[in-house]
Structure 1
Amino acid sequence: METISMAPVTFTATAVEELKRLSTEQPEGKYLRVGAKGGGCSGLSYVLEFDEKKENDELFEIDGIACIMEKSHGMYLYGMQIDWDNGLNNRGFTFSNPNASKTCGCGTSFAV
């Protein structure tokens, strides 16, 4: 399994805490997939889900969380910070992507 030395994204402490909680509910052999896919009102949507490693994935670890990302997604996501918001009006992961030229109002779709 290929491991990259530097993680292309970062997680805040609150995101790490929530991801570790979620990882305890996953079956053995699942990794946290960080990525992008076509869709959403701005053209691309963020992917943050537990999945099996595929041939074109790179493996990296952040604070004990084993993560995977398709190699081609790095150019869209490098330097992105993922946070967990547990507020009264908003609960979920938020994405701060320095590569995004445009984002939608919901914060889960972006363009580069």
Structure 2
Amino acid sequence: MTTQAPQSQQRGILMTDAALQHVLQLREKQGKDLCLRVGVRQGGCSGMSYMMDFEDPNNIQPTDEVFDYDGFKVVCDPKSMLYLYGLVLDYSDAMIGGGFQFTNPNANQTCGCGKSFS
């Protein structure tokens, strides 16, 4: 008999506690109830670059993947999800190399800045 994790535990985009706390702080400064849209676009040092921005929850499309973090929604379009499934989003406040970090199991190659991949 195999046991699967509850559906709420399975997320295509994972956020560490540090990343979630930082995103929630940034959202609070916006003064609105916003979700986080994560995706990819052509460009960057290695061919594809990550994109991440706040968005009004009313803009969530029926085809979007939505991941709930205790009421905070992380949204990704289906085309980007092909490249991002299993992505871990982390945040570091280190003086050198700090900021958001993307660990993408689908990336064959990443650039030195860590913001693009192929």
Distance 1:64 1:91 in 2: 26
Distance 1:15 1:32 in 2: 12
Distance 1:36 1:84 in 2: 18
User: In percent, how many aligned pairs have the same letter?
Assistant: 38
2:35 to 31, 35, 51: 31
C-alpha contact 1:10 1:62 (8 A) present in aligned 2? no
TM-score where L is the length of structure 1? 0.85
* Residue-by-residue CA offset, 1:26-79 (whole Å, 9 max, x unaligned): 353531001111110111101111023243423221243211111111110001
Distance 2:112 2:44 in 1: 11
SS at match of 2:19: helix
C-alpha contact 2:87 2:102 (8 A) present in aligned 1? yes
Distance 1:30 1:88 in 2: 28
1:73 to 47, 68, 80: 80
Deviates more, 1:53-62 or 1:93-102: 53-62
- Report what 2:89 is aligned to: 82
Aligned length: 108
2:64 to 50, 54, 57: 57
C-alpha contact 1:16 1:63 (8 A) present in aligned 2? no
The structure with the larger Rg is 2
Flag structure 1 segments of 5+ consecutive residues without an equivalent. none
In proportion to residue count, which structure has more helix? 2
TM-score where L is the length of structure 2? 0.81
C-alpha contact 2:36 2:52 (8 A) present in aligned 1? yes
Structure 1 residues 29 and 18 mapped into 2: Cα distance closer, same or farther (>3 Å)?
closer
